[in-house]
Amino acid sequence: MRALAAVLAALSLACASNAVPVGAPEPVSYDPSDRVDYSVTECGAQLLLFIPFFSNGRLERAMDLVRSRAGDRYLADVRIRERWTFLVFGTIYCTDVLAATYGRR
């Protein structure tokens, strides 16, 4: 019975993710005519609906990639879309992030 409880506790931790801040930490002065959009997609899967493979932290990975591509540009107008595809032995989950970035004045 204890082994079953330990396995269930470990499986429940597999569904945990970190909170992800979206957007700039503080408002800054930016140039509205200097806009560059970045689009990123991060995917993961769940085998048999309960064994995750890279499905946790998709938004965190996508936002890290957007921030690294944007550099010191002001991050604004972040749009997030979640989508999934059912397969025979599991599900593919994808997170799409589209962010507008602006150059600083």
Instruction: Using pLDDT thresholds of 50, 70 and 90, give the confidence band for residue 8.
Output: low
- Residue 21 pLDDT exceeds 90: no
Q: What is the dihedral of CA 51, 54, 58, 62, to 10 degrees?
A: -170
Does the pTM exceed 0.85? no
What local confidence, expressed as pLDDT, does residue 16 receive? 64
**Separation between Cα atoms, residue 45 and residue 43, nearest integer Å:** 7
Count CB-CB contacts under 10 A for residue 58.
22
Q: What CATH class does 31-104 carry? A: alpha beta
What local confidence, expressed as pLDDT, does residue 22 receive? 72
Quick one: tokens of 12? 């429940």
Collapse the DSSP code of 62 into the 3-class scheme (helix H, G, I; strand E, B; otherwise coil) and give the result: helix
- Residue 97 pLDDT exceeds 80: yes
Q: What is the mean pLDDT of residues 29-38?
A: 89
pLDDT digits over 44-86, tens only? 999 887 788 888 889 999 999 999 999 988 888 899 999 999 9
60 contacts 54 by C-beta, under 8 angstroms: no
Phi, psi of 15 (to 5 degrees): -100, 10
What local confidence, expressed as pLDDT, does residue 62 receive? 94
Q: What is the mean pLDDT of residues 17-37?
A: 78
